[in-house]
Amino acid sequence: MRLDAKKLEALFVKKQNHSTLAGLLMEYAILKQKLEEPDGQSWYFKQGINSRKKRIAHLIKQFNAIKSTFNTRTIDAFLEKINENKAVCLHYEKRGMHTIQLMHHSKLKAENVFLHELIGLKSKINQLKEIDHYLNHPEEFLLIID
C-alpha cells in the first residue's frame, strides 16, 4: 500500500479553525471550573483528575510561552518571521517537496496563520497578562476572541 503524504500530514499537523490563543484560554477556563467543582463531574472525569491537572499545567506553560513571545516582540518582528517562512515555502513550492518538506511547509503555513493572529492582537493590546486575569476580566478575554 502506498504512503499518502496528505494523510500523513493530517496526523502530524493540527489544523485549527479558531484562534489558537482563544482556544487555549477556553480550554483552560473549562478545565479549571470542572476541577474546582469535582463533585458535579462524571465518574470518568474524577478518575482522570491527575491527568487533567497535568493538562492545566501544560496549558499554562503554553500560554506563558505565547505571552513571552507576544510581550517581547514587535509587529515588525512578526512580519519579518512571516516573510522568512514565506520564502522557505516558496522555495519548496518551486522545487517540489518530499514528505518531510511537505510537513515542514504545512508547519510554516500554520505558524504564519498564528503570527497573523498575534499581529491582529498586538494592534488591540500591547501586553498579554497572566492567564487567570482573562478569567476574572471577561471584557479583556473578548478582545482576544474577537
Domain boundaries, the chain: 18-145
Cell of 24: 487555549
- The answer to whether 140 and 134 have CB atoms below 8 angstroms apart is yes
Q: Report the share of the chain in percent with pLDDT over 90.
A: 57
Q: Of 75, 61, 78, 74, give the one whose Cα is nearest residue 24.
A: 61
pLDDT digits (tens, 9 = 90+) for 32-89: 988 888 888 788 887 888 899 999 999 999 999 999 999 999 999 999 999 999 999 9
Q: Report the share of the chain in percent with pLDDT over 70.
A: 86
Q: What is the value of pTM for the model shown?
A: 0.77
- Phi, psi dihedral angles at 17 (to 5 degrees): -100, 0
- The answer to whether 88 and 108 have CB atoms below 8 angstroms apart is yes
Rounded Cα distance between 146 and 138, Å, is 12
Count of CA atoms in the C-beta half-sphere (13 A) of 28:
23
Name 11's Cβ contacts closer than 8 Å, sequence gap at least 6: none
Give the number of other CB atoms < 10 A from CB of residue 21.
21
